[in-house]
Amino acid sequence: MNRSSVRLAVAAVFAGVFLTGMVKSSLDLRNTVTGEKLNLEDSLPDGRDTPAVRAFLETGVNPYNEDPKVLPKAKELFLTACSGCHGHLGEGKVGPGLNDDYWTYPKNETDQGLFETIFGGAQAQMGPQYENLTLDDMLTVMAWVRHLYTGPVDHAPWFTEAQKKAYKPYHEDHPAETN
Ligand code: HEC
C-alpha cells in the first residue's frame, strides 16, 4: 500500500467506527413546533439499538402498539413521566387531553408525529423528553398513549386493521390488558 491508500484505509476505519455509533433513520424527523430537524444523537446512549427502535426508525410505525408484553411497563412510564401534566387517563390537566381524537398538532395521530412531539417537545411545559427517556422508552410510552384512547376507532389511523377490530375504548376498570 502506498501512503495515500494507507490514509484512505485509516479514514475508512474511522468512518466505520463513527457511523456504527450513530443512530440511523430513514425518517425525516422534525420538531413539532419549529420544523427543525431532530438530532437523534441527542438521545440517551441506552435503548437506541433495540429491534423496536430499529423498526420504527425504518418505517415510522411503532411495533409496541397494543403489545401485551409492553403495556404494563408503558403504563408505568406514562404514570411517571406524563400523567402529572396530562392526567392519569390522559384526560388532560396542565397539558391537553391525549385520549380523544382532538390534536393541537394533527400529526400526533401518526406514530412518527407523536414520537417527534415527545422527543423534541412542543410549547410551554411540554419540554423535550430525550434527556428523560431512552428511544425505546419513548416508543413504550407512546404505546400507552395509544392504549388510553377513548375516541372513535375510525379516527385512530395508528391502529392496524386487526387492532381496529379488537378496539375497545380504554376504561380504567376494564383495562384491555387484563381482559
Ligand atoms: C410539565 C408538564 C408536561 C409533561 C411532564 C408532559 N407534557 Fe405533554 N404537554 C404539556 C403541555 C403544556 C402541552 C401543550 C403544548 C403545546 O400545545 O404546544 C403538551 C402537549 C403534548 C402533546 C401534543 C398534544 C396535541 O394535542 O397535539 C403530546 C402528544 C404530549 N404532550 C405527550 C406527552 C407525553 C407522552 C409525555 C410523557 C412522556 C408528556 N407529554 C409530558 C405538558 C407536559
What does the DSSP assignment read for 29-77?
Answer: -B-TTT-PBP-GGGS-STTSS-HHHHHHHHHS--TTTT-TTTHHHHHHH
The dihedral through the CA atoms of 93, 147, 54, 31 has a sign that is negative
Q: Ligand 1 test: best mutation among 32, 33, 86, 105, most atoms within 8 Å of CB?
A: 86
Q: Which residue's C-alpha comes closest to atom 6 of ligand 1?
A: 82
Give yes or no for a contact between 158 and 146, defined as CB atoms under 8 angstroms apart.
yes
Is the CB of 143 within 6 Å of ligand 1? no
pLDDT above 60: residue 177 = no
Q: Ligand 1 test: best mutation among 126, 132, 142, 148, most atoms within 8 Å of CB?
A: 126
Q: Work out the pLDDT band at 179, boundaries 50, 70, 90.
A: very low
Residues counted in the chain? 179
What is the maximum span of the chain, computed from C-alpha positions, in angstroms? 73
Is the CB of 84 within 6 Å of ligand 1? yes
Give yes or no for a contact between 122 and 105, defined as CB atoms under 8 angstroms apart.
yes
Per-residue pLDDT, averaged over 73-99, amounts to: 98
Is the CB of 124 within 6 Å of ligand 1? yes
What is the model's pLDDT at position 111? 98
Is the CB of 77 within 6 Å of ligand 1? no
Question: At residue 150, what is the residue type?
Answer: T
147 annotated as ligand-binding: no
Is the CB of 145 within 6 Å of ligand 1? yes
pLDDT above 60: residue 19 = no
- How would you label 55-76 residue by residue, b for 16+ Cβ within 10 Å and e otherwise? ebbeebebbbbbbeebbeebbe
Domains in the chain: boundaries: 27-178
What is the model's pLDDT at position 3? 74
Q: Which residue's C-alpha comes closest to atom 32 of ligand 1?
A: 118
Is the CB of 160 within 6 Å of ligand 1? no
What is the model's pLDDT at position 7? 73
Mean pLDDT value across the chain:
92
Q: How far is CA 75 from CA 4, 22, 108, in A?
A: 56, 29, 19
Question: What are the cell numbers at 129?
Answer: 423528553
Write the CB contacts of 84 (distance below 8 Å, at least 6 apart in sequence). 93, 94
Give yes or no for a contact between 106 and 98, defined as CB atoms under 8 angstroms apart.
no
- Per residue in 105-137, pLDDT (tens digit) is 999 999 999 999 999 999 999 999 999 999 999
What's the 128 CA to ligand 1 centre distance in angstroms? Answer: 9
Q: Which CATH class is domain 27-178?
A: mainly alpha
Q: For residue 64, give the nearest of 137, 155, 131 by alpha carbon.
A: 137
Residue, of 20 and 43, whose pLDDT is higher: 43
